[in-house]
């Protein structure tokens, strides 16, 4: 049976190192690959952020990229409340994120656009900087 391809995730909010849901404290432990960035709009939802990809107001959103196992992906899906259908809080997307100048195919948890109505736009793309200032 062929080995499953590596899975990677781009984390930009509470899953970042030192965040409330620090991915490094989860099991099985991920492997840190480096910092990455994506174009989008970051919103202050509550004690956590939400990211919409692209858009006219897009800025560079920074985050960390990790190699993960299918078991850890299931844990992340539970944290992000991934559900079938349009009512999910987040949707899983896959896109290439540049890490040290090379593209890495990553999962990105994008907030459901219905959840950002009336929420504060974070004018830059760094949740940790926003959250700790």
Level-2 CATH architecture, domain 7-65+74-105+118-132: Roll (3.10)
Domain chopping of the chain, boundaries = 7-65+74-105+118-132
Cα angle 90-96-99, degrees, rounded to a multiple of 5 = 110
pLDDT at 131: 74
pLDDT at 1: 52
Mean pLDDT of 124-133: 83
Between the CA of residue 124 and those of 12, 37, 39, 57, 59, what are the distances in Å? Answer: 12, 12, 11, 10, 6
Q: What does the pLDDT look like over 87-123, one tens digit per residue?
A: 899 999 999 998 988 999 999 999 999 999 999 999 8
Q: What does the pLDDT look like over 15-27, one tens digit per residue?
A: 999 999 999 999 9
> Residue 50, Cβ neighbours under 10 Å: how many?
25
């Amino acid at each position: 049976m062929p080995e499953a391809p590596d899975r990677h995730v781009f984390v930009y909010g509470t899953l970042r190192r030192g965040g409330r849901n620090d991915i490094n404290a989860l099991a099985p432990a991920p492997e840190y690959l480096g910092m990455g960035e994506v174009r989008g709009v970051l919103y202050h939802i509550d004690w956590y952020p939400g990211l919409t990809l692209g858009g006219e107001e897009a800025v560079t959103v920074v985050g960390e990229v990790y190699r993960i196992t299918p078991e850890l992906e299931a844990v992340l899906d539970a944290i992000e409340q991934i559900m079938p259908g349009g009512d999910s809080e987040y949707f899983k997307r896959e896109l290439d994120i540049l890490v040290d100048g090379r593209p890495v195919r990553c999962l990105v948890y994008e907030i459901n656009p219905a959840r950002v109505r009336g929420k504060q736009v974070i004018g830059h793309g760094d949740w940790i900087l926003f959250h700790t200032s």
